[in-house]
Amino acid sequence: METLKTPPQVVPYMPVIPGLQFYATMRASGEYYGALGAAGPITPITMVADKLYCIPFLVLKTETFNGIAIDVQTLSAGNARLGIYNDNGACAPGTLLVDAGAVDTGTTGAKEIVINQSLQPGLYWLAAIFNATPKVYGPTTIPNLLGLKTPSVASCGCYSWYYTTQVYGELPTPHPAPTLYGSSPCGISLKRA
C-alpha cells in the first residue's frame, strides 16, 4: 500500500516578514521611525534622571539616517543625550556606534540632532539618557519580536527594551549590563535620509 505524502505548500510572495510592521522594509525619506514593531497608543511617559534607556531598531537593508530625535511633551529643565548602540549578538546593547550629543528638555516639542549614519542590516539600539524628568512621547508597548521574555498573553506585557542606572554624561561604551524591562519605553526615533 502506498503512503500518501503531504503535497508541497505554496507560500505566496509577501513584501514583508510576517510579524514585522511594514515600515521596517519601506521607510520613506524624511520620515521618523522608532522601535521595531512599536504598537499601541502613543502616550507621554515620564523619564527618570540618570537612567540610560535603549530600544530596539531593526534594519533589513542598508539605510542612511540624518536625524535622531525625541518628542518632549512635558518639560523638565535639563538635557537628554541621544545615540545608537550596536547589538552585542545576544539581543542587548553592545558597543557605542553614535553619541549624537544632547538636546534641551526644558522646552516642549520635537528635539532632533542632525546625524549622518549609514546602518547595515542588523539589530541596533536607540539610546537616551536624561538628567531631568520630562515626559516624552513613546509607544505603550513594543511587541516581543526579539525572542525576549513575555510574562503572558493575557497581560500583554512586553519585555523588549532595556534601561540601566547610569550617571548622566557621554554615552558609555561598551554598554553596561542592562536590566530587561517591561513598562512603557522612551520614544526615540531616527529620520530616514
User: How does pLDDT run across 75-99, given as a tens digit for each residue?
Assistant: 999 999 999 999 998 888 999 999 9
Q: Which residue has better confidence, 41 or 59?
A: 59
Amino acid of residue 126: L
CATH code at 174? 2.60.120
Mean per-residue pLDDT for 28-45? 70
User: How does pLDDT run across 146-179, given as a tens digit for each residue?
Assistant: 444 333 333 333 446 788 999 999 999 999 988 8
Identify the pLDDT of residue 25: 66
> Does the pLDDT at position 120 exceed 60?
yes
Evaluate whether 161 touches 146 at the Cβ level (below 8 Å): no
| CA torsion angle 66 181 24 125 (round to 10) | 40
The predicted model scores a pTM of: 0.80
Query: Is 98 within the bounds of a domain?
Result: yes
Identify the pLDDT of residue 156: 34
Mean per-residue pLDDT for 13-36? 62
Structural domain span for residue 144: 28-192
> Does the pLDDT at position 22 exceed 70?
no
Query: Is 17 within the bounds of a domain?
Result: no
Query: Is 6 within the bounds of a domain?
Result: no
Nearest of 67, 69, 71, 68 to residue 45 by alpha carbon: 71
Query: Is 107 within the bounds of a domain?
Result: yes
Identify the pLDDT of residue 167: 95
Task: Please state, for a pLDDT cut of 70, what percent of the chain lies above it.
Answer: 70
What's the rounded Cα separation, in Å, for the pair 101 and 115? Answer: 10
Identify the pLDDT of residue 183: 60
What is the chain's mean pLDDT, rounded? 78
Identify the pLDDT of residue 163: 87
Query: Is 22 within the bounds of a domain?
Result: no
Query: Is 2 within the bounds of a domain?
Result: no
Query: Is 99 within the bounds of a domain?
Result: yes
Number of domains making up the chain: 1
Query: Is 9 within the bounds of a domain?
Result: no
What's the rounded Cα separation, in Å, for the pair 36 and 33? Answer: 8
Identify the pLDDT of residue 143: 43
